[in-house]
A and B are shown apart, each in its own frame.
Chain A
Amino acid sequence: MGGVTVDGGTGGITAHCDDLRTLARRLGEVSADTLHSAWSLHGYLAQPVLLESALLDPVGFATFEADLLLALDGLHGLTPIGLRAAALDLELRAAATAYELADHLASDAILGAIELPIATQAASLALARTRDPLGAAEQVVALDPALADTIIDGLGVPGLLASGARSLPDGHGVARPLGADTGASTPPRRLTDVVADLDRRNADGHHGAVDVRILTLADGSRRAIVDITGTKSWSLGPTSDVTSLTTNGRALVGLRTAYEQGVLAAMRAAGVRRTDQVMLVGHSEGGMVAVTTARDAVTSGEFDVTHVVTAGSPVGLTVGQVPRQVQVLALENTRDVVPHLDGRANPDQRNVTTASGARGDGTVGGDHSVHDAYLPLAGDVQTSHDRSVHDFLTGADGFFRAERVVTQTYQVIRTY
């Protein structure tokens, strides 16, 4: 089993700071209420009716005054407690700010300014040594994934891809039914099953192949899993192949794509209901499309996408746009260069968990392959004890408890 590094999610920095601030807010309320209570109670010490009563029962009056003063201003009285709660509130807020500042200092944006010359030099040396651009990139990625983000962002790769893709007509995506997949009759029980199903569809000869699995649970409720396959065409020109580079460039920066239109059309055709919880699963380009589809389906209210699993997808520029109720698990092979094409680490958000590990066979293709890299990585992640991963899988439990599954397959094609 390989080691897994996890960023973001419910155990990430942002969630951590949210937790700190929630506690700080509660302490602030306790402090304010306690100090207000102490202030109000002080007023009773000099009430005229009490002062008058002192003449008739001076001992009883003195006993009461002493008790109340002790409760208010004694060593452990309300006033010092209120002040202590206020101090704790400030400490927690300061800690949250310090965590975020440290995280920000370690972010790509700051590192980019400092490390770009070093990163460029490292890439150049690797290129000179190997004379293989992809091989050099893989070496840098394997050595330091964050450095790869810095290089790619510094070279302006995401911007170039996006501007190129924007200038190409994307057409309109349609879903052509390929029929039921009777071979996929076993409901998934774990994350590896989900990725294995994606691998199976990915091996399909059809470019733009999409699975829509309708899962039925014992209580009659339904879930749907949609598998979205990755790039099969390297064409830059107009083509009916929806997996072409046009889709890559557009999806990389969060633009809607014909591929997304086709995925939504496939979901409608397969009978996915508004009340069905949906998990979108995508490899590479398919993962990018899964993210934009989740964003748009939830925003429009057409489908209840609750989970997204991406494998080897550069989603750093877009995954932050996904609504908070959608939980995203991004699997990234640290040796794979493709997840770094966005030049940006995935954001640390409560609903975005990035699980990274080293898998693959050391080749460019093998390190990006669902079968050779991401299926084993999914196994590593499945057995991870990390809190963010655990919470994601627990939240997705309904997708792993189905009694029946019916799988329809489609091919998304682009029309003009």
Chain B
Amino acid sequence: MSLLPDPADLRAIADRIAAHATGTRSRAHALGRATAESPWRGTAADVFGTSAAEVIGELRRAAARLDDAADALRRHADRIGEASALTLVEHEITHGVLSGAVGGALSLLGL
């Protein structure tokens, strides 16, 4: 059993974060549609429209940031994968060299 972190677990987390980003975009879209379709008109409605537009814009930017975080985690998972593979190779090599040395020594001793 390996004690190294599994990159697949990290990528699964990245996918869930990306799903939250998609949900956030959907909420921004739904709020934009509700605001546009509202029959409410007038100065107060205009003021509200400005505030709602800011919230919608911020939701979209937050969704983009979540995507950035998901991408950063995927890159991290790639590097963990590479590091794990390297560690495994080193382990194999070390294990092979040691096994060879021990075997050689034993044969020299005639055992």
Contacts and interface: CB of A to CB of B under 8 A. Distances in A.
Contacts of B9: 49
A22 B52 CA distance: 14
B69 A30 contact: no
Nearest to A87: B51
Contact of B40 (A20, A47, A50, A78): A20
Interface stretch (A54-62, A223-231, A351-359): A54-62
Interface in B19-68: 20, 23-24, 27, 30-31, 34-35, 38-41, 44, 48, 51-52, 55, 58-59, 61-62, 65-66, 68
Interface stretch (A33-41, A110-118, A124-132, A375-383): A33-41
User: Helix, strand, loop or mixed for chain B's interface?
Assistant: helix
Contacts of A47: 13
Contacts of A57: 76, 79-80, 83
Contacts, number: 122
Interface size band for A: 35 or more
Contact of A60 (B30, B62, B72): B72
Contact of A64 (B20, B52, B62, B73): B73
Given A26-B31, A34-B59, A68 B39 contact: no
B6 A37 contact: no
Contacts of B39: 10, 15, 19, 387
Interface stretch (A69-77, A213-221, A253-261, A316-324): A69-77
B100 interface: no
Given A22-B38, A50-B13, A34 B24 contact: yes
A56 B51 contact: no
A52 interface: yes
A60 B13 contact: no
B5 interface: yes
A44 B38 contact: no
A88 interface: yes
A384 to B, nearest CB: 16
B1 to A, nearest CB: 14
A44 B69 CA distance: 11
B83 A44 contact: no
B38 A53 contact: no
Nearest to A75: B58
A63 interface: yes
Contacts of B16: 44
Interface size band for B: 35 or more
A71 B62 contact: yes
B22 to A, nearest CB: 11
A11 to B, nearest CB: 8
B31 to A, nearest CB: 5
Contacts of B83: 56-57
A64 B76 contact: yes
Interface string A65-104: 0011011001011101100110010001001000000000
Given A15-B39, A16-B40, A26-B34, A88 B55 contact: yes
Contacts of B84: 56
Contacts of B51: 88
Contact of A95 (B13, B44, B73): B44
Given A15-B39, A49-B10, A81 B62 contact: yes
Nearest to B7: A53
Given A22-B34, A23-B34, A63-B76, A30 B55 contact: yes
Question: What are the 6 closest A-B residue pairs judged by CB atoms, nearest first?
Answer: A60-B76, A71-B65, A67-B69, A68-B69, A64-B72, A53-B5
Interface of B: 4-6, 9-10, 13, 16-17, 20, 23-24, 27, 30-31, 34-35, 38-41, 44, 48, 51-52, 55, 58-59, 61-62, 65-66, 68-69, 72-73, 75-77, 79-80, 83-84
26 contacts: A19-B39, A23-B34, A23-B48, A27-B31, A27-B55, A30-B30, A30-B55, A30-B59, A34-B59, A44-B13, A44-B16, A49-B9, A53-B77, A61-B76, A63-B72, A64-B72, A67-B65, A68-B17, A70-B65, A71-B65, A78-B66, A81-B55, A81-B59, A88-B55, A95-B44, A387-B39
Given A23-B40, A34-B24, A88-B48, 8 more contacts: A23-B38, A27-B31, A40-B20, A41-B17, A49-B10, A50-B5, A56-B83, A60-B75
